[in-house]
Structure 1
């Protein structure tokens, strides 16, 4: 055997050995080093390295009957912080995940669901904002980086003692020019409510009613 072939064989052997993992148990899935999206899958004592799709994380607590690659909010990687480089598409920052749309703090309503790099656009119900921390639609004032007043188009009065009804921390205001909708100001932040078709907000009673005479 030539000297070059022997060297190549040694290199191949070293690389092959470096890719062999010892299974902690005969069957199961286990973290690999400091990686949050790679894992070792062992079947009958034979281990195979696998990697989650871009945007997902390996959940070592997932049962053997559950796909172990899950969304970041569902996975606690602990000290395992390494991730593969992002693989963005034309529409998505990662191949998988939920992402808020818009670049301004007042653009809080729409979000993307990215699946294999393909984006599906969704909107939160009226008055709610997408929360990237929970993947749920929530009150805009509890969503970080969402400007509730700018998003809803209403600024709560600076001195609630002068205007509005109710306790100082909770004040009601009819939406200007709209008899069906009203704002509840919670600690100075607006939340939009809708009385629904055929109902109107009564500023005196601070509730919805079907009496049109109460709407001004």
Structure 2
């Protein structure tokens, strides 16, 4: 018997968890007003975020939504196309914590748990300080009279300024920290910054090590489900009868109750 099949059969009998339905994921949660987010199921459709809620929009005939430029273009170069022969994860632009899992040619909307962010270099959810994504706060309609400043998740002295819809990297000098209260560089004693490591941590994992792969396990014939793996850093995902082995980023473990990779400390909070 295939060893993955045996492991999967054991896990399947006791630890199957149905994943959160894509329709229950709020694309605009955590995004600023007037951020445009792609519809991963239709290249001509997109959503505009208003008061944290997505409002459906559609490009005119023969135009396609392009997330990078936040506009409709005559070219479909920015369209998500899932290769039926590959299993990949693609960041959902302007959200920081959502991504599309291309599973056997089908895009599945996924969301990172807690305040984790999707790391496109790993293709998985990761600690915010390793990603430092703030594009979900930068609208192309930001007013020059109301400049948007965003603190960094990786360094107390680093921050971003939204300009033309894109975050611009800035750094305080002379040992000063960025203070969100005044949007200025200030004395460390006046700033409530708890980032202990002022740089990004180096993960021992690579994209190749963390990449999902198809495996032979027993899966429900219909729907999207997740199954716990004997290794707490991994789990199985089943989509309409097909199974894949997924790996969490370093320092994260799979929480079968939530159906997502999480910090061990966050899992313990609920107990």
The TM-score normalised by the length of structure 2 is 0.22
- Larger Rg, first or second structure (1 or 2): 1
Higher relative contact order (CA 8 A, sep 6+): 2
Larger strand fraction of residues: 2
The TM-score normalised by the length of structure 1 is 0.26
